[in-house]
């Protein structure tokens, strides 16, 4: 009888302790392991030294006629960390005969590769 009651107590105690033990173990592992893991910003969000060489492309672009054509072009081109700045000239919101200056980092993207990507995104590209 004594063995049976001890077994019942152990089982009931284990049932009560399991969730708390599991929770404590999980929190403890996350606290210890999480301290070593650091979130790093994406590479293209890091500052570029002023001494790093920059290149510029001055273009006249014809983009596909649709609402937000400039924004779509910008978002697609900014995916490349070698593109530093896209500067549109007025009139804004137009998709045809747009004058743009694109500043890029030659150590991260070659001029020809950048031009090729721009030609994929635009209907027509002319150097100014």
pTM confidence score = 0.65
Q: Output the CA torsion sign for 94, 99, 103, 108.
A: positive
Q: Output the CA torsion sign for 33, 36, 41, 82.
A: negative
Strand boundaries in 19-97, DSSP class E: 55-62, 83-88
Q: Is the peptide bond before 90 cis (omega within 30 degrees of 0)?
A: no
Of 88, 91, 94, 90, give the one whose Cα is nearest residue 63: 94
Contact 64, 56 (CB under 8 A): no
Q: What CATH number belongs to 51-127?
A: 3.30.70.100
Q: What is the pLDDT along the chain (128 residues), one digit of tens a residue?
A: 556 555 655 666 556 656 666 566 666 656 666 555 566 556 667 788 999 999 999 999 999 999 999 999 999 999 999 999 999 998 888 899 999 999 999 999 999 999 999 999 999 999 98
């Amino acid at each position: 009888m004594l063995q049976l009651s001890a077994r019942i107590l152990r089982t009931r105690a284990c049932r009560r302790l399991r969730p708390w033990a599991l929770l404590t173990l999980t929190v403890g592992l996350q606290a210890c392991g999480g301290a070593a893991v650091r979130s790093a910003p994406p590479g293209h969000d890091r500052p570029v030294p002023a001494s790093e060489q920059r290149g510029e492309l001055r273009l006249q672009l014809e983009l596909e006629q649709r609402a937000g054509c400039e924004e779509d072009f910008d978002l697609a081109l900014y995916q490349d960390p070698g593109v530093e700045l896209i500067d549109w000239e007025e009139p804004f919101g137009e998709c045809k005969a747009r004058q743009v200056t694109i500043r890029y980092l030659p150590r991260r993207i070659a001029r020809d590769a950048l031009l090729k990507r721009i030609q994929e995104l635009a209907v027509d590209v002319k150097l100014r």
